[in-house]
Amino acid sequence: MYSIGLDVSKSTINVYVPYNDLDLVIKNNIKSLKSLYSKLKKYYKKEFDKLVFIYEPTSSYSFLLKSFCANKNIKSFIVNPKKSASFAKVMGHRNKTDIKDARLLSKMIVTAKNEDIKVPIINSIEEELKELIACYKLIIKQQVIAKNHIAALKAKREKSYSIKELELQYQFLKKQELKLIKQIKSIIKKDEKLQETFKNLQTIDGIGEISSIVLLSHFTQYPTANQKQIVSLAGLDPIEKSSGSSVKGKTKISKAGSKICRGTLFMPAMTSIRHNERLKSFYDRLKENGKHTTVIQVAIMRKLLIIAHSIYKNNEIYDSNKI
């Protein structure tokens, strides 16, 4: 196999071609991808079928590449970003540039299992769901900005033209949020597997429709991620800073992943502490061990995420005896 490393960004794609050790930079558009395809055909000729494109799923930026591979029947190894970061550490790559990233991705062929290398399949429903979730995230972000601005203005005076306009904007955004949720639910209903998972996730104490939508989006974005990776991709993985006896930093979560995923899990965690006997016992045990309340809340959020991911992977309903 010949592994072609592709580091995808918004406007360009850095490409590493093992043939003659070539580093290329192309535009992230269909014309440039067709040109690259023609070049690779000339380079590899009869060996072209042995090519594997290796790249990360960089949200909407990599969608064109993924679609191109699907249409041209090009085998791909789509790499989990956390896996490539770990691989870079193992390989001793300290400097990060687009050219080096493309070369690194090419080398990651050694980590691929047979089932990881395949022609991508474009699921139009999942892609539409991703678009709607991205829109939902934007609306929630705008709501937070408007709400914070209103609070800051009201600290000065109770009424003003600016406050009135911002409150109208906030109300409009809330309506848009409800419309989006309705649309997302209608999209999920079109796919039997998504609909079943959507319902299964809601069998977990504290997980409602919105939480299920966000979790479902998170899992479908990283379908091959294991439990440790899915926790890390939500930014709920603990990080510790310590060195010898002189440096002893507090353990914190990385917050390097999905902010909306973390935010969505907070209230379900609070609910599960009250209504789920197993998680309540887990909470009490950590409390007895002297853990801070915030640390325990994060631990519950992490456990809920792992439970939800297991339900997604195994296509089953929640069973408290399996915690």
Give yes or no: residues 18 and 91 share one domain: yes
Look up residue 296 and give its two tokens.
């325990």
Of 116, 150, 168, at which residue does a domain stop? 116
Average pLDDT over residues 147-175: 94
User: Does residue 80 contact residue 225 with C-beta atoms inside 8 Å?
Assistant: yes
pTM comes to 0.73
Amino acid at 24: L
Give yes or no: residues 62 and 89 share one domain: yes
In the chain, how many domains are there? Answer: 3
- Does 74 reside within a domain? yes
User: Does residue 35 contact residue 17 with C-beta atoms inside 8 Å?
Assistant: no
Average pLDDT over residues 232-247: 70
Name the helix (H) or strand (E) containing 78: strand 75-78
Of 67, 84, 116, at which residue does a domain stop? 116
Is residue 195 pLDDT above 80, yes or no? yes
Give yes or no: residues 310 and 259 share one domain: yes
- Does 112 reside within a domain? yes
* Confidence (pLDDT) at 98: 83
* Confidence (pLDDT) at 247: 47
Instruction: Give residue 165's domain range.
Output: 124-190
Give yes or no: residues 105 and 144 share one domain: no
Between residues 4 and 217, the one the model is more confident about: 4
Is residue 244 pLDDT above 60, yes or no? no
Give yes or no: residues 64 and 144 share one domain: no
Average pLDDT over residues 230-239: 85
Give yes or no: residues 58 and 85 share one domain: yes
User: Does residue 217 contact residue 133 with C-beta atoms inside 8 Å?
Assistant: yes
Give yes or no: residues 32 and 51 share one domain: yes
Average pLDDT over residues 234-260: 70
- Does 158 reside within a domain? yes
Give yes or no: residues 111 and 128 share one domain: no
Any idea what the Cα angle at residue 77 is, between residues 64 and 118, rounded to 5°?
Answer: 90
Look up residue 218 and give its two tokens.
């998170």
Is residue 234 pLDDT above 60, yes or no? yes
- Does 211 reside within a domain? no
